[in-house]
Structure 1
Amino acid sequence: MRSGINSPAWWGAPKKFETRQKDRRVSWLELFFDLVYVIAISRITHHLTGDMSAAGFLEYICLFMLVYWGWLNSSLHHDLHGNSGLRTRLMTLWQMMIVAALAVVTNKYPDDHHHSITVVFMIMQLFITYQWWSVGLYDKNHRRYSWPYTTLYLVSFGLMGLSMLLSSAWLAFIVPLILICNYGPPFISHILLTRSSNELDLSSSMFERLGLFTIIIFGELVLGVVNGITEVEVLDITVWLNFAFAISLVFALWWIFFTMIARRHAKKNFIRASLLELLYIPTLISLGLLAAGFPSFFGEASGSSLQDLFCYGIAIFLICVSLLTGLLEYPEVFDKIKNPMRFSIFFTGVVFAVFPLFDFDLSQPGFLLSAIAILSAEILYLNFVYFRKLSKEGLEHPDDQT
């Protein structure tokens, strides 16, 4: 077994991923780290609120995918190699500074080339590349698995720098290449792990982190509702009804998501884990779209086009939840009811997708009530199927068992 440089215990060399702690709890440092991303997500969502055009939405997708990539890599690095040493805490601090800087420049220095944002993303790109590369200094065996990350991440870094020298028209070609380079390494590493008879799964703590990140986005939905209601000059009974209906809509989406996702485990296999992480992207972006739309939804200029946008956002969210459940492990009681439950969620997503085709002329309360009614029907069905199964089998709720 080859080893790299030695370091004192107080410094804390990165731990080897072969020695992962089973059922590790999410640390306070990780929770503090996630708070900075609350601010970054809030800023880019606010940026989308100011430009709800197709171009603005595409820009939001790109920004979100880069922010999510930064969070995912740092979270995975901590999950695999983090410890309580000084090295881990300092690297977390530096990453928090970078993300906070991103939040500062998101709306402060707008320009066609996005120079300020690009510079911050380049710093993040280089720092995360260093994170993966530096593990090989302490464990030389790790280098065979990390080279796809360091190589492709450096390519992305170069493409970001190149984008600052070219006209903005080139962004349509460069940004997709950057995203491919950033999200491609896990699939190459999977081949390397398979050849060496190693396997890497998504840990329970990392899956919990994904759930916590989702909570951040749900928080943005609530903030969007609050901001939208705040902009209304006269808070009459109709406005307060809209407020109650909107919060109920957000809660219904949360209910469906965490009913199917909470307290589960990802299926074994590195590819499945990577696909699960990628599938969270459209899931969270759809919620971000709703969060950005709420501040305008309660205004007088709000119309059917914004209602249609909400329908599409909810549709994508529900369809993604249905797909996510296929990558999770469930208790045996779910064996016969899992597929019907998945199909019902998928079908409800399709209902929202075709809802705009009927061109209903609904008021704001009418639309919100209609959406809540459809989601409530789905929630009632999920609970009916699940608890009827438990009653027939004479079983306790598996999530309540200790």
Structure 2
Amino acid sequence: MAEPGHEEQPDEKRVSWAELFFDLVFVVAVTRVSGLLTDSHSWAGVGQAVVVFVPIYWLWVGTAIQTNLQDTSRAVLHLRIFAVALAGVFMALALPQAYGRLGLLYALAYWVGRLVLGIALVMASARSRGIPLNPYTVSMVLTGPMLVAGSFAHGDAREAVWAVAALIDLSTPTVLRPQLRRMHLDAGHLAERFGLFVLIALGESVVAVGTAAGAVELTVGRGFAVAVAFVLSCALFWVYFHFAADAMRHAMATAKVQLDITRLVLSYGHLAFIAAIIFTAVGLRESILEPGQHLSWAFAGLLVGGTALYLASFGFTRWAMFRLVSWTRLTAAGAVLALLPLAPHLPALATLTAIALILIVLNTVELMRVEQIGWRARINGRVPAR
């Protein structure tokens, strides 16, 4: 699927319709996680939401890697994608009661989804090289069973077991780097897949705006809040898709060890991006409901902290890709974070407006810098005028 302004190479792998259909399941999952945070927005609630989101995200990542490595036109792969999607459906359905009566359903759904992804790979490898040690087999024999075992525990014990399982899943690509470093991936396809998950999360921010406005009477103040919140969502989109998406694609295509970009930028960096957008979406929803009232510390933390985390995460990914510091985005993250002590004492609309203005300034500065570099290059004759 070519990006606007980019010619598609003849041998470029495209995102398939089956993969796009698969992503619809995770729209539901992201919405459910957002609902968890809305209902329980304390530090403990944030921790619980992150712990149950990581397996959902890891199931998606495992599917994205597998479809990248295989021919997505094969019917058997489509059936495998649908089976994993069904596991994702049950995980999403179980989310509101994952720490209650539906914990076993949530855990079993994850384990089944990872088994579906892993068994075919294990069977193919076993015939030639024996059973491989990779993230799929680790989740099949260790973290999947850990989630199931944890579902029989209660309270903090369940959360602790699941948190350890999530950390093991996330650390597996780093621990197994020597075995996985020769893996070759299609750079354009995988970068686009992760960009689509960011788009799913951004869609949740738009849904949050719409559902909040539809749940109450639309006053003039709420109308302004809807407009500002939508501008803020558009600015978040611009930060990622106008510049960063192409940079990530380039880094993947030119990396000596693709695994390092996949592991640091795509797997870890995008987990931070998506979590940050979900946090921000919850804050947006609350801000629209009562734009003239002060946000509580919890909702102010989600709105301000989520936006700051989103921007700061680009500092991490830029360093991981190019060993460069993203001064503009880190500065903007600091400016947003500086609003945190003020946010609980300001009308929610004022906080929304301040964040939106910081993002607009950031995007304007970056656009001007890129345009300036482009014109300098043209003057020096290094690139042709378009």
TM-score range, shorter chain: 0.7 to 0.9
- 2:288 is the counterpart of 1:298: yes
Aligned to 2:53: 64
1:163/1:174 contact within 8 Å kept: yes
1:224/1:293 contact within 8 Å kept: no
Q: SS where residue 20 of structure 2 aligns? A: helix
Q: SS where residue 216 of structure 2 aligns? A: coil
1:44/1:106 contact within 8 Å kept: yes
Aligned to 1:310: 303
Q: In structure 2, what residue type is equivalent to 1:210?
A: F
- 2:157 is the counterpart of 1:170: yes
1:245/1:369 contact within 8 Å kept: yes
1:180-259 to structure 2, matched below 5 A, reads 180-193=167-180, 198-201=182-185, 203-233=187-217, 235-259=218-242
1:33-48 to structure 2, matched below 5 A, reads 33-48=22-37
Alpha-carbon shift at residue 244 of structure 1 (Å): 0.4
Q: In structure 2, what residue type is equivalent to 1:220?
A: E
Q: SS where residue 345 of structure 2 aligns? A: coil
In 1, the alpha carbon distance for the partners of 2:156 and 2:347 equals 40
Distance 1:157 1:360, change over 3 A: closer
- Deviations 1:117-140 (CA, angstroms, capped at 9, x unpaired): 223223223333324323325x62
2:12/2:188 contact within 8 Å kept: yes
- 2:80 is the counterpart of 1:84: no
Please, what TM-score do these two structures have when normalized by structure 1? Answer: 0.82
2:328/2:362 contact within 8 Å kept: yes
Aligned to 1:51: 40
Q: SS where residue 355 of structure 1 aligns? A: coil
Alpha-carbon shift at residue 359 of structure 1 (Å): 6.0
Q: In structure 2, what residue type is equivalent to 1:75?
A: A
1:17-28 to structure 2, matched below 5 A, reads 23-28=12-17
Identity level (%): 19
Aligned to 1:133: 122
Alpha-carbon shift at residue 346 of structure 1 (Å): 0.7
In 1, the alpha carbon distance for the partners of 2:135 and 2:148 equals 20
Please, what TM-score do these two structures have when normalized by structure 2? Answer: 0.85
Alpha-carbon shift at residue 48 of structure 1 (Å): 1.9
Aligned to 2:4: none
In 2, the alpha carbon distance for the partners of 1:397 and 1:95 equals 49
In 2, the alpha carbon distance for the partners of 1:223 and 1:397 equals 44
- Deviations 1:147-177 (CA, angstroms, capped at 9, x unpaired): 5631454111221222133333323431232
Distance 1:348 1:199, change over 3 A: same
Count of residues in Structure 1 that have an aligned counterpart in Structure 2: 365
Aligned to 1:377: 361
Q: In structure 2, what residue type is equivalent to 1:185?
A: T
In 1, the alpha carbon distance for the partners of 2:365 and 2:350 equals 23
Alpha-carbon shift at residue 231 of structure 1 (Å): 2.0
Q: SS where residue 262 of structure 1 aligns? A: helix
Alpha-carbon shift at residue 362 of structure 1 (Å): 2.3
In 2, the alpha carbon distance for the partners of 1:207 and 1:250 equals 21
Aligned to 2:319: 326
**Structure 1: runs of 5+ lacking an equivalent:** 1-20, 330-337
Alpha-carbon shift at residue 113 of structure 1 (Å): 7.5
In 2, the alpha carbon distance for the partners of 1:32 and 1:184 equals 29
Alpha-carbon shift at residue 46 of structure 1 (Å): 1.7
1:144/1:192 contact within 8 Å kept: no
RMSD (CA atoms): 2.8
In 1, the alpha carbon distance for the partners of 2:41 and 2:311 equals 22
In 1, the alpha carbon distance for the partners of 2:156 and 2:92 equals 25
Alpha-carbon shift at residue 42 of structure 1 (Å): 1.4
**Structure 2: runs of 5+ lacking an equivalent:** 1-9
Q: Single out whichever of 102-111 and 177-186 deviates more from structure 2.
A: 102-111
- Deviations 1:40-97 (CA, angstroms, capped at 9, x unpaired): 2212222222221222211111122111100000110111124322211111111111
